[in-house]
Structure 1
Amino acid sequence: MYVVTSDEMRKLDHYTINTIGIPSLVLMENAGREVANEILVWTKKHKRSNHKKWLILVGKGNNGGDGLVTARHLMEAGFEIDILYAQSPDLFKGDMITQHNITKNLKLLTDVYQNKTIDWNRYEGIIDALLGTGTKGAPKEPYASLINKVNESKLPIFSIDIPSGLDADTGILYQPCIKAEKTITLAFLKCGLVQSPGAEIAGDVIVKPIGIPISTTKQYSIQTFSLQTSVFEKKLNVNMNLPRESNTHKGTYGHALVVAGTLQMSGAGLLCSKSALRAGCGLVTWSLPRTIANQMLGILPEVMLVPVEDKKSGEWNVQSAEDIIQLSENKQALVIGPGLGRFKEDDLWLRKLWERIECPLVMDADALNIISDAEHFEKWDRKDTPVIFTPHPGEMARLLNCTINEVQENRIQIAREYAIKHKIVVVIKGAHTVVATANGDVYINNTGNTGMATGGSGDVLAGMIAGLLAQNYTAEQAAVLGVYHHGLAGDRAASKRYSQHSLIAGDIIEEL
C-alpha cells in the first residue's frame, strides 16, 4: 500500500484533475460519499441511532468541501446534521464555494463558529473537516479554540483525511490537535498517519478510494509503502507461504555467523543466535570471548560456539579480527554488535571486518556506536556485498550527530537519505519501524506493540534478519520480512499475557 507526503498527494491530485481530466468536484463527491458510508457502517456496528444529530466541522479549504459532501449524503441517509463553519463563507474559494451553495440550496443548517458555547449533548458524533494535508504548523484561531472544545466534548470524532492539527508528513502533533476515534483518509495513506505519535492520535485509520488511479503513483515515483501482503507479493516478490521442499538439508538454508556478547551482556548473543535459527537458518555459529564461552556450553545446543582469546577479560580485543575473518569464510551472513561492548582500538577491529569480510553484514548495537565514533568512516572501503544497519533512534542520532527528537520527527526521510548515501539498508527501530533501501524505497511496519520495548528485543531482530540473509533473501527482503515477522511474533506473545508490560525478548523468539 502506497504512503504519500502532502506534496506528493498534491501532485497526484493535480495530475488526476488536469492531465487525466477527472474534475475536482467529482473527486470531492467521491470523498464525501466514502466518508458518509463509513459513518453509516460505524453507527450500525455500534447500534447507534441515526436520528440523533451529527455535527460537521468545516474549514475553508477542500477538506471542508469533503465535509459538506459528507453532510449531504448523511442527510439523504436519514441523519440529522448541523454544520459549523470555522470561518465565514465569505472566505471560501473554488470548489468550496460550489459546495457551500449546494448546502444553502438544500437548506442544511449551518452556523459560523464565533467562540460560542456548544451543547454537546445534542450530538451522536463529530466529523472533523477543518484542516487538510496541506496545512502546516499549529492551528490558529478560530481553529485552535474549536479543536480544544471538540476534544473536551468526549464525543466520537471522525477525521476526514487527517486529524486537524496533525502534520501529514511527519506525524508530529501540533497543539491543539484533534484526537480521532477514526480517520478516513482519502486515496492513499499519509506519512503522518503511519508514524508516532500521529498513528496513535488518528485512531482506526482506513483508506478509501476517491477516483485517483493507482497508476498515478508511477507518474511521480512514489517510493514509500505500508507493509501489507500485497507489498510482499507485488513489490518484494516474496511468497509469504512458501513451503520447504522435501529434498533439502540444513546446508540448503544457509549458515550465519554471530559476533556478539561480553561478560556483562552474554544474553544478547544468545538471543541473537537463537532467533537466527528460529528465522529458518540451517546453521548458526556464535563467536564470543573465551571466558563466557564455557558458561554458554549446552544452554543452546543447536548453536556452535567458537571462542576467541580474551585473556580472561570476557571482552573483545583487536587481535580477534583475524579469527572472525577466517570464521566468516563460507558463511552466508554475519551479524555484529549485540552485547559487543566497547574496547581499545575497536574502530580498527571493525574496519578490518568491514573491509575484508565478503558475506552480507548486519550491523547492530555497539557495532553502530563504534562507527558513529570512528574517524573517517566515509573512507572505509567495502566489497560489493549487502550491509544492513539496525539502529534504534538513539543509535541513529549518534550516527548522524543529531538529537533523538530530530530522528523521531523525520524517520522516513532520515532513513532514506542515510541508506542512499551509504548504499545500504537502514532499519530504524521503534514504533512503526522504518526500513529504507539504497534505491530510495521505504517500508513502514504496522506490526508490533509497546511490550516489545524491552531489553533484547533488538538482538532478536538482528538475528532474524541475519537468519533470513543466510537463506539467500536479498538485504531488502530480509530486513522487511524480519521486521514484519518480529512484530507479528511480538503481537502473538503479547496476546498470551495478561499485559504487554510483562513481555520479554525470549517470548518473541518462542512465537517465531
Structure 2
Amino acid sequence: MLQPPSPIYPVAGIRAIEALVTPGAQPTLMERAGRASAEEAVRLTQDRSGPILIACGPGNNGGDGFVMARRLLQAGRNVTVAFADDPAALPPDAAAAFAAWRAAGGETVSDFPAAPAGGWALVVDAIFGIGLKRPVEGRYATWVSALNAQDVPRLAIDVPSGLDADTGCVLGTIFRATATLTFIALKPGLLTLDGPDHAGVVNVHRLDIEAAARLPPQGLQVRPAMIVPFLRPRRQNTHKGTYGDVGIIGGAPGMTGAALLAGRAALKLGSGRVLVGLVDDDAPAVDCGQPELMLKRPERVVEQATVLALGPGLGTSALAVSLVERAAASDKPLVLDADALNLLAAAPHLRPLVMARAAPTLITPHPGEAGRLLGSDTASVQADRVAAALALARRFHAEVVLKGSGSVLATPDGRWFINNSGHPGMATGGMGDVLTGLIASLLAQGWPAEPALLAAVHLHGAAADRLAREGIGPIGLTATEVAEASRGVFNGWMVKAARPR
C-alpha cells in the first residue's frame, strides 16, 4: 500500500490544536510528551549501556525533559539532568514537572557534565521547543555545542534547539540531532531548508490527539498515496495519440543537452510523442542517444504539441522571448523553468500574459529564480520558503514548486505541500531539466496540474532514493540516471495502486 500523506502545521496551528484539548484532561500534554520521549529513549538505547543525559531549558520543552527523566528513573535507568535556571521561573506545567522529578528522587546539575568513562548512552536536547524565535546564545549555545560533540545518538524533543519550527532557519547555535521526536504533527521547519540537516530521523507522536479532526491540515507532506486516483492501468485499445504530445523548447547554443534531457524524461514516463524544439540553429537533427525524440523548429513545436515546457537551456535571446510570448498566449498547459522564469522576471510584458492564462501554468523555480520573480532576493525567499511559494502561486496564478531542501509546492488557492524524497546527490546539472520533462509528460497524459506536479516532484526524488539504495550515488549521480530510474519507480506505483485494498 502506498504511504498516505502526513499533515503539517506551523506553530500557530499546533498552538490552536493544543488549546482545543479539554482543560484539566489527564494525563496532561506535558505528561504525554514526556512519556513518549522516555519510550523513544528506551528504543534508541536498547543496545547501548551507560547513563542518559537530558539538557533541560527554561520553558515547557524543559518540562517535557523533566517528565522524560522521571519516567526513565522510575524504569530503572541511570539519568543525569542538566538544568541551570531558577525553578521558580518555570511556566506552571514545567514547574510541576520539575517538582515531580525532584519528588521522585531526581537531582539536577547546573553545569554541563563531563561524559562518564564509558560515554553517554544518549544525549537529549530538551532546551528550546517550537516557540523559539531568537538566536540561541550564551550558556545554552555552549550546551548545544557540547551536546553536538558527543559521538552518541542525539535526540531532540519536538524540534532541535536553534531551529525555527516554521521556516527551517537556523537561530544562532543549533542542535544536530540524529533523531527528533516531534509532537501532535509535523512542523514545516523540520522538513525544509536547514531542518533536514539537523533533525535527523523524524518521528511523530500524536499524544493521543487526532490533529486533523480538530483543525484541517495547513500543509501536507507529499506521498504517492495522494495521486492514487490517477494511477490507472492503461486500456488495451489505445495508441500514441492517447498519451499526448509533449513539446520541450530550449537548447540554445552550448545548452542543447538541457532540452534533450527534459525530452528523454518525458518519453520515459510514457508520453505518446515528444517534440523538442532546439533554439540553436546548429543543433543536431536527431538525438542519437534517444532517436524516438522528434527534433523540430521551436515554432513548430509550439503549434503541434498538446503540452508545452519552456526553459531548459532556452537562453535569453529575442527568439527566446518571442517563444515564451507565444506559449503564454496559447491555450495549452504550460511548464516554465530555468531561463523561461528568468525572462518572466526580466520582461514585464510577459507577466500579464502568464497571469491571465486560463490553461494550467506550472512554474519550477529554484530560490534564486524565485527571488527574481518576487522582486526580492534568494535570502528573502529562503527566510520563509512556504510564504515565498504561496506568494508565487498567487502572483502568477500558477502551480509552483520552489525547489531545494524540502521542496515546497503551492497552489493558487493557498494550499501547500512539502516534498522530502531525494538526497544531496541530486545537486548536479540537468536535474531540473528532468523534473520539467516528468511534469510535462503527466500533463500530456491527461493529469490535472496539481497531481501532475505532486507526482512528478515526489517521483523525481524517489528515483534518486532508489538509485542510492542500489549503490548508485549519492556522489556522482547524474540526471540521466534519475530519468531512467523514474520509469521503474512510477511503474512500481502503478502496480501497488492496482492491488485490491
Matches within 5 A, 1:42-441: 42-44=44-46, 47-49=47-49, 52-111=50-109, 113=110, 115=111, 118-121=114-117, 123-216=120-213, 219=215, 221-233=216-228, 237-239=229-231, 242-289=232-279, 291-296=281-286, 298-308=288-298, 320=299, 323-328=300-305, 331=306, 333-344=307-318, 346-355=320-329, 357-380=330-353, 382-441=356-415
**CA separation in 1, counterparts of 2:293 and 2:41?**
54
State whether residues 81 and 109 of structure 1, in contact with CA within 8 Å, keep that contact through their aligned partners in structure 2: no
Moved more, 338-347 or 358-367: 338-347
- Deviation track 1:371-428 (CA, whole Å, cap 9, x = no partner) reads 0101244432633110000112221122122222222222111001210232111111
**CA separation in 1, counterparts of 2:279 and 2:164?**
48
- Deviation track 1:421-476 (CA, whole Å, cap 9, x = no partner) reads 32111111222222111111212111111111111111110000000001111111
Counterpart of 1:506 in structure 2 is 480
Identity of aligned residues (%): 35
Counterpart of 1:313 in structure 2 is none
Counterpart of 1:315 in structure 2 is none
What TM-score, normalized to structure 1? Answer: 0.88
Residue 146 of structure 1: CA displacement? 1.9
Classify 1:166/1:490 alpha carbon distance in 2 versus 1 (closer, same or farther; 3 Å): same
State whether residues 159 and 190 of structure 2, in contact with CA within 8 Å, keep that contact through their aligned partners in structure 1: yes
Residue 138 of structure 1: CA displacement? 0.8
Classify 1:289/1:232 alpha carbon distance in 2 versus 1 (closer, same or farther; 3 Å): closer
**CA separation in 1, counterparts of 2:80 and 2:288?**
71
Moved more, 78-87 or 157-166: 78-87
What SS class does the counterpart of residue 385 from structure 1 fall into?
coil
| 2:13 is the alignment partner of 1:8 | yes
Counterpart of 1:488 in structure 2 is 462
State whether residues 274 and 294 of structure 2, in contact with CA within 8 Å, keep that contact through their aligned partners in structure 1: yes
- Deviation track 1:75-130 (CA, whole Å, cap 9, x = no partner) reads 2322111222131202112111211221122111223x2x4553454632211111
Counterpart of 2:3 in structure 1 is none
What SS class does the counterpart of residue 95 from structure 1 fall into?
helix
| 2:28 is the alignment partner of 1:30 | no
**CA separation in 1, counterparts of 2:60 and 2:155?**
17
**CA separation in 1, counterparts of 2:167 and 2:420?**
16
Residue 190 of structure 1: CA displacement? 1.1
**CA separation in 2, counterparts of 1:340 and 1:93?**
58
Classify 1:367/1:22 alpha carbon distance in 2 versus 1 (closer, same or farther; 3 Å): farther
State whether residues 312 and 338 of structure 2, in contact with CA within 8 Å, keep that contact through their aligned partners in structure 1: yes
Classify 1:62/1:38 alpha carbon distance in 2 versus 1 (closer, same or farther; 3 Å): same
State whether residues 86 and 143 of structure 1, in contact with CA within 8 Å, keep that contact through their aligned partners in structure 2: no
**CA separation in 1, counterparts of 2:363 and 2:26?**
43
Q: Unaligned stretches of 5+ in structure 2?
A: 1-5, 487-501
What TM-score, normalized to structure 2? Answer: 0.90
What SS class does the counterpart of residue 427 from structure 1 fall into?
strand
Classify 1:140/1:25 alpha carbon distance in 2 versus 1 (closer, same or farther; 3 Å): farther
Classify 1:127/1:497 alpha carbon distance in 2 versus 1 (closer, same or farther; 3 Å): closer
Classify 1:161/1:454 alpha carbon distance in 2 versus 1 (closer, same or farther; 3 Å): same
2:100 is aligned with what amino acid? I
Residue 33 of structure 1: CA displacement? 1.5
Residue 263 of structure 1: CA displacement? 2.8
Classify 1:120/1:146 alpha carbon distance in 2 versus 1 (closer, same or farther; 3 Å): farther
Residue 149 of structure 1: CA displacement? 2.3
Residue 478 of structure 1: CA displacement? 0.7
Classify 1:275/1:458 alpha carbon distance in 2 versus 1 (closer, same or farther; 3 Å): same
Q: Unaligned stretches of 5+ in structure 1?
A: 309-319
Classify 1:416/1:383 alpha carbon distance in 2 versus 1 (closer, same or farther; 3 Å): closer
**CA separation in 1, counterparts of 2:287 and 2:54?**
66
Residue 481 of structure 1: CA displacement? 0.4
State whether residues 45 and 121 of structure 2, in contact with CA within 8 Å, keep that contact through their aligned partners in structure 1: no
How many residues in Structure 1 have an aligned counterpart in Structure 2? Answer: 479
**CA separation in 1, counterparts of 2:120 and 2:320?**
65
Moved more, 56-65 or 377-386: 377-386
Q: Aligned Cα RMSD in Å?
A: 2.2
Classify 1:25/1:141 alpha carbon distance in 2 versus 1 (closer, same or farther; 3 Å): farther
Classify 1:402/1:458 alpha carbon distance in 2 versus 1 (closer, same or farther; 3 Å): same
**CA separation in 1, counterparts of 2:67 and 2:301?**
66
Classify 1:13/1:301 alpha carbon distance in 2 versus 1 (closer, same or farther; 3 Å): same
**CA separation in 2, counterparts of 1:324 and 1:509?**
22
State whether residues 245 and 275 of structure 2, in contact with CA within 8 Å, keep that contact through their aligned partners in structure 1: yes
**CA separation in 2, counterparts of 1:152 and 1:494?**
28
| 2:461 is the alignment partner of 1:471 | no
2:417 is aligned with what amino acid? Y
State whether residues 224 and 455 of structure 2, in contact with CA within 8 Å, keep that contact through their aligned partners in structure 1: no
Residue 279 of structure 1: CA displacement? 1.5
What SS class does the counterpart of residue 174 from structure 1 fall into?
coil
What SS class does the counterpart of residue 20 from structure 2 fall into?
helix
What SS class does the counterpart of residue 435 from structure 1 fall into?
strand
State whether residues 266 and 438 of structure 2, in contact with CA within 8 Å, keep that contact through their aligned partners in structure 1: yes
